[in-house]
Amino acid sequence: MYFDTLGQMKKQLAQLDKWLAAAVTYAEVKKFDPNVFLTTRLAVDQFPFVRQVQVTCDTPKLAASRLTGKEAPAQADNETSLPELSARIQATIAYLDTFTAKDFVGADARTVTQPRWEGKIMSAHDYFLEHALPNFYFHLTTAYAILRHNGVPMGKRDFLGTLSQRMP
Amino acid sequence: MYFDTLGQMKKQLAQLDKWLAAAVTYAEVKKFDPNVFLTTRLAVDQFPFVRQVQVTCDTPKLAASRLTGKEAPAQADNETSLPELSARIQATIAYLDTFTAKDFVGADARTVTQPRWEGKIMSAHDYFLEHALPNFYFHLTTAYAILRHNGVPMGKRDFLGTLSQRMP
């Protein structure tokens, strides 16, 4: 489950990168600074777009690291432009590309914790399903919604990407 | 993977039901008709809230049905109030409650199709990861974002619900 679902997250990160390109194109057409998107949000007490993208990247990065014991590269969270965010996405995809299904053998025996959990732990299984998976899609979809709400022309197909469909 | 992930979706549906209650409370405080939310959307060419909730319910319902061969109850998609949407969510949870892990044995041998796919099929595995999973979280998060954007006081904890954390 872990490896396959992280593979799907990698696919979604590639879609997210395409939305950034669509945002740049839209800004060019409308003649505004595309980096305005970085500080845009749907509610005043919500993370802005730049942070939504950063967390969307960090969630599968940290999940892959925590479930395998392999170290995750640190990120400075200092992106100031859409091209820099695109580089962050590409770096995350490249990191996820270093994993094979074999790396996740034994993951179910692991537990996960975070400083903010005040000593509490979660089983790898619960952490992945209850925390990593919903958080990933939450921030991914919120990033999409911020662009969509502000006029970037995208639809569900852009969200999902190409499906593995075939004739019977 | 299927049964466990559908269990997580069931948990998220229970969270979604709580957001509807938060929306009702917010409308009472602000003195407006809570059913205004049903036609609210983040972009003019996007599904309104009522449809986001309907599709959030239908996605795991249809996934459970398609992966097991068990019939799914039809829904009329005629909800006109938040309490009716809440009943839809509860009916979906009740349907998902009828499944056991055993029902999904052999799911990987199945293929899935839909009328709109024009004869094409997907393997159960690809359908679940590439279609059901992202669609579910897409509509769930969009429903959340519509409420959040319109002032309903909620945060990430309301999105995730209670995590299975414990002391080591």
Under an 8 A CB cutoff, do B138 and A137 touch? Answer: yes
Question: What does each of the 168 residues of chain A score in pLDDT, given as a tens digit?
Answer: 999 999 999 999 999 999 999 999 999 999 999 999 999 999 999 999 999 999 999 999 999 999 999 999 999 999 999 999 999 999 999 999 999 999 999 999 999 999 899 999 999 999 999 999 999 999 999 999 999 999 999 999 999 999 999 999
* Predicted complex ipTM exceeds 0.90: yes
pLDDT tens-digit map of B50-105: 999 999 999 999 999 999 999 999 999 999 999 999 999 999 999 999 999 999 99
B-chain CB neighbours of A137 within 8 Å are: 133-134, 137-138, 140-141
Nearest to B67 by CA among B1, B118, B120: B1
Pairing relationship of beta strands A122-123 and B111-112 according to DSSP bridges: unpaired
Eight-state DSSP code of residue B84: H
CA A168, B5, B7, B8 dihedral sign is: negative
The 10 Å Cβ neighbour count of residue B121 is 18
Q: What is the least distance, in Å, from the CA of A141 to any CA of chain B?
A: 6
Q: What is the least distance, in Å, from the CA of A87 to any CA of chain B?
A: 23
With CA atoms as reference, the chain A residue closest to B5 would be A129
Q: What does residue A111 show for φ and ψ, rounded to 5 degrees?
A: -120, 160
